[in-house]
Amino acid sequence: MAMGEGSAASNALVQSTLLGELLEHASVGALAADSGRYIAANEYACELTGFDRAELIGRPVGDLCRQRGSGVIALGCKDGDEIEVSYRVVEAALAGIPVTLGLFWPV
């Protein structure tokens, strides 16, 4: 069966899986939050901040975002340093759960 064929549900699952895999390995940091705490982080977010996933999950959003500006924040790192990043925040659904998704990349 070709990619464009099949039920809408199976296509949605394939798209969700593909997007999840792409986001996991993208050169953009991604942190998902619910109720003000991180619930998911991609590989690049861990690489940029120096935290592993276990250290990021459950952490309050305000712990990492030290400054807020016009599209730029200083993102706190594990070693105490800060990295300036551009960011975009979007409302999304991960596995059917509504979340706030923060995408960021070095300036």
Domain presence at residue 16:
no
Question: Is the separation of the CB atoms in 32 and 40 below 8 Å?
Answer: yes
Domain presence at residue 6:
no
Residue 20 to residues 23, 54, 80: CA-CA distances in angstroms?
5, 19, 30
Task: Note if the pTM is more than 0.95.
Answer: no
Domain presence at residue 35:
yes
Q: What would the pLDDT profile of 32-73 be if each residue is shown by its tens digit? A: 999 999 999 999 999 999 999 999 999 999 899 877 667 899
How far is Cα 33 from Cα 80, in angstroms, rounded to an integer?
Answer: 22
Name the residue type at position 86: S
Domain presence at residue 9:
no
Q: What would the pLDDT profile of 28-40 be if each residue is shown by its tens digit? A: 999 999 999 999 9
Domain of residue 63, CATH code = 3.30.450.20
Closest alpha carbon to 63 in 33, 91, 23: 33
Domain of 45, in residue numbers:
28-106
Domain presence at residue 46:
yes
How far is Cα 32 from Cα 103, in angstroms, rounded to an integer?
Answer: 9
Task: Specify the number of domains making up the chain.
Answer: 1
